[in-house]
Amino acid sequence: MVVGDISTGTDVLVIGAGPAGYVAAIRAGQLDLDVTLVEKEAYGGTCLNHGCIPSKALLTASDVAHQAGNAEEMGIYADPAVDLEGMVGWKDDIVSQLTGGVEKLCKANGVNLIEGTATFDGENTVRVSHGGEGQGSESIDFEHAIIATGSRPIEIPNFAYSDDPVLDSRQALALDSVPDSLVIVGAGYIGMELATVFAKLGTDVQVIEMLDDALPGFDRDLARPVKKRAKSLGIEFHFGYGASNWEPHGDGIRVEAEPAGDAAADGGQAVEEEALELDAEKVLVAVGREPVSDTLDLEAAGIETDDRGFITADDRARTNVEHIFAVGDVAGEPMLAHAGSNEGQVAAEVIAGEPAALDYQAMPAAVFTDPEIGTVGMTESEAEDAGFETVVGKFPFQASGRALTTGHTDGFVKIVADAEAGFVLGGHVVGPEASELIAELGLAIELGATLEDVASTVHAHPTLAESVMEAAENALGQAIHTLNR
Ligand SMILES: Cc1cc2nc3c(=O)[nH]c(=O)nc-3n(C[C@H](O)[C@H](O)[C@H](O)COP(=O)(O)OP(=O)(O)OC[C@H]3O[C@@H](n4cnc5c(N)ncnc54)[C@H](O)[C@@H]3O)c2cc1C
């Protein structure tokens, strides 16, 4: 300990106040543990400040503008003007309401909040430094620690985020004017959501993706309607390319991309073989996220990571060091806010001696593109690989009265079940409100519900949720509003 330092102790020390860390801290507080939460930047982490919430706010606002300007079919004629500064201001108000709420909830649950950057000093001690030079530091002894330091965007060679026209997702969500043109590197969910925002605001968007299709990792059936709609919004895709460099060009920049080489060309668009040059005002890089684990002095506590820097944790969120836990993005996939929160709750409960454990069987994922994607449980082929004989039911939104009245009929609900016992194994939705509809299918899996249970649950009419019931009926060969298989 440095002379002059203050030294304190706590039962549970949580590092990072994102959705994994603050939920862990609140749950630990509810369980009557003495808990201290250290945050270096802002309560709510990436999710509330620069991720889930800001991106969804801008998706909603850009959709309002786009729909208002494209509603002639409904007899509405409008030409909305967009003030991005105003839109971002509205988003910032939402963010501060939520982050203020996190701080209040932590305090109300007895969580001791400390602003500063934590690094390990040993197996039972961290040093927390406050602000810049001369701001001092303190040493905190802990019985248990929960690491929840999250992730940051991966930088690719020649595209430093400190260079003005090069943006990461955080900078893209804080722009004060709508760029005329934008190159997006990466067609994962973050790249595709932001492509949707800017295309709807009138930006000319081009997407470069190394692989042969958009939304890698998602079922192709689910990705297809999203890519089709993206193209109809004017988004141009260049699959099988890796961005290699950029240079100033005219009033903007020129982005160079090289063929990625091994990408197959079945993503609906031929992979070109020549190098590409794309002109734009700015370039947004969204190629994935890496763990924030290299700044923690993990070695001082003997905590192990994998070769990409993710902290390895077991099904109780425990690291290789018995009393230290890792939750959220820093502990690897699934890198989603709700997964992190769930892991945070489990870690707190394990520390309190409760019989909690992680179970990813009913972990949903949602993509807020147009149309949205919601998915939970096993796909048909995953279920078959796991040894199940499957039965599948499908319902297209084109047959849904409610979908027709919203003007959004792209997509479908698909339900995968065990053919013999009828248990729901997976649910996959692409279409309007897919991110909400997936909750019913997640609950069905969690409760061990059967196709009969879902089909015999009366759903209000006219709702999009009826489509889930119809998909279950379809699997049973009893569909009313579609022809049965
Ligand atoms: C544009 C975008 C959109 C997204 N949309 C969604 C979505 O719709 N749904 C979804 O589920 N997920 C979404 N995500 C992912 C989601 O944001 C993350 O999965 C989630 O934030 C991870 O939570 P976390 O608590 O693990 O880490 P973070 O939210 O990253 O929080 C970590 C916190 O730790 C702090 N910290 C780091 N190091 C230290 C230290 N040494 N000392 C003290 N504090 C430290 C950081 O300042 C930060 O506040 C999105 C991400 C992005 C970028």
Is pLDDT above 60 for 271? no
Q: Is the C-beta atom of 148 inside 6 A of ligand 1? A: yes
Question: What's the chain's average pLDDT?
Answer: 95
Is pLDDT above 80 for 2? no
Question: Which residue is catalytic, options 50, 144, 461, 481?
Answer: 461
Is pLDDT above 80 for 273? no
Q: Is the C-beta atom of 205 inside 6 A of ligand 1? A: no
pLDDT, mean of residues 7-20 = 94
CA distance 186 to 253: 18
pLDDT, mean of residues 151-179 = 96
Q: Is the C-beta atom of 367 inside 6 A of ligand 1? A: no
Q: For residue 484, what pLDDT is reported?
A: 78
CA distance 47 to 53: 6
Q: Is the C-beta atom of 137 inside 6 A of ligand 1? A: no
Q: Give, for 284, the enclosing helix (H) or strand (E).
A: strand 282-285
The tokens of 140 are what?
């905190």
Exposure pattern of 339-368 as b/e (b: 16+ CB <10 Å)?
A: bbbbbbbbbbbbbbeeebebeeebbbbbbb
Strand blocks (E) in 136-226? 137-147, 151-153, 166-167, 181-185, 204-209
Considering only 6-15, 77-86, 130-139, which range has the smallest mean pLDDT?
130-139
**Rounded percentage of the chain residues whose pLDDT exceeds 90:** 93
Question: What confidence tens digit (pLDDT) does each residue in 387-409 have?
Answer: 999 999 999 999 999 999 999 99
Q: Assess contact for 251 and 244: CB atoms under 8 A.
A: no
Q: Is the C-beta atom of 434 inside 6 A of ligand 1? A: no
Residues ≥6 apart with Cβ < 8 Å to 81:
none
52 CA → ligand 1 middle, Å? 9
Question: What confidence tens digit (pLDDT) does each residue in 205-254 have?
Answer: 999 999 999 999 999 999 999 999 999 999 999 999 999 999 999 999 99
Question: What confidence tens digit (pLDDT) does each residue in 336-348 have?
Answer: 999 999 999 999 9
> What ligand 1 atom has the least distance to the C-alpha of 330?
26
99 CA → ligand 1 middle, Å? 13
pLDDT, mean of residues 23-27 = 98
Q: For residue 38, what pLDDT is reported?
A: 98
Question: What Rg, from alpha-carbon coordinates, does the chain have?
Answer: 24
54 CA → ligand 1 middle, Å? 12
Is pLDDT above 60 for 5? no
Q: How many CA atoms lie within 13 A of 266 on its CB side?
A: 2
Q: Assess contact for 148 and 169: CB atoms under 8 A.
A: no
Q: For residue 3, what pLDDT is reported?
A: 45
Q: Is the C-beta atom of 417 inside 6 A of ligand 1? A: no
User: Which phi and psi angles does 69 have, rounded to 5°?
Assistant: -85, -5
pLDDT, mean of residues 185-192 = 98
Q: Assess contact for 142 and 149: CB atoms under 8 A.
A: no
Question: What confidence tens digit (pLDDT) does each residue in 295-334 have?
Answer: 999 999 999 999 999 999 999 999 999 999 999 999 999 9
49 CA → ligand 1 middle, Å? 9
Considering only 12-21, 164-173, 255-264, which range has the smallest mean pLDDT?
255-264
292 CA → ligand 1 middle, Å? 10
Pocket of ligand 1, candidates 15, 39, 47, 151: which has the most ligand atoms within 8 Å of its Cβ, to mutate? 47
- Whole-model pTM? 0.95
Q: Is the C-beta atom of 287 inside 6 A of ligand 1? A: no
Q: Assess contact for 53 and 45: CB atoms under 8 A.
A: no
Exposure pattern of 241-271 as b/e (b: 16+ CB <10 Å)?
A: bbbbebeeeeebbbbbbebbeebeeebbbeb
CA distance 161 to 169: 10
In this prediction, residue 4 has a pLDDT band, given cuts at 50, 70 and 90, of very low
Nearest CA to ligand 1 atom 13: 52
Sheet holding 166-167, edge to edge: 166-167, 282-285, 181-185, 204-209, 236-239
Q: What is the DSSP-derived secondary structure letter of residue 457? A: S
Q: Could you give the maximum distance between any two Cα atoms of the chain, in Å?
A: 78
Q: Is 461 a catalytic residue?
A: yes
Exposure pattern of 2-19 as b/e (b: 16+ CB <10 Å)?
A: eeeeeeeebebbbbbbbb
Q: For residue 272, what pLDDT is reported?
A: 55
Question: What confidence tens digit (pLDDT) does each residue in 101-151 have?
Answer: 999 999 999 999 999 999 999 999 999 999 776 778 999 999 999 999 999
345 CA → ligand 1 middle, Å? 16
CA distance 467 to 222: 16
Q: For residue 261, what pLDDT is reported?
A: 75
Q: For residue 231, what pLDDT is reported?
A: 98
Q: For residue 316, what pLDDT is reported?
A: 98
Q: Is the C-beta atom of 372 inside 6 A of ligand 1? A: no
Nearest CA to ligand 1 atom 19: 336
Does residue 179 have a cis bond before it (omega within 30 degrees)? Answer: no
Q: For residue 270, what pLDDT is reported?
A: 46
Question: What confidence tens digit (pLDDT) does each residue in 431-480 have?
Answer: 999 999 999 999 999 999 999 999 999 999 999 999 999 999 999 999 99
Q: Is the C-beta atom of 38 inside 6 A of ligand 1? A: yes
